[in-house]
Amino acid sequence: MSEPFLEEQLRRIRQMSARISEARDRQQALSKEIEREREQRRLGPLENIHDFRAQPAERPERPHDERPARRRHVPTRARHR
């Protein structure tokens, strides 16, 4: 076999090896993307929504005695008599 023929074969083998590596990388990326999409479908559309509003501090429930007394509504006319 002549040397140019072997060099051409070696060049073609390297090209094929590079193409196979690229195909493997694309396949891995697509597999990861498919898995992310499956996870998103499993979670539901509202799972990625976050409420960043400040939450009020929780207050312990006060006993009935300590609750402020309710004021009765007195109609305006009755107050002026």
What would the pLDDT profile of 27-54 be if each residue is shown by its tens digit? Answer: 999 999 999 888 878 777 677 677 788 7
Whole-number Å distance between alpha carbons of 8 and 28 = 30
pLDDT tens for each residue of 10-30: 999 999 999 999 999 999 999
Whole-number Å distance between alpha carbons of 38 and 77 = 66
pTM of the model: 0.46
Whole-number Å distance between alpha carbons of 15 and 13 = 5
What does the pLDDT read at residue 42? 79
What does the pLDDT read at residue 27? 97
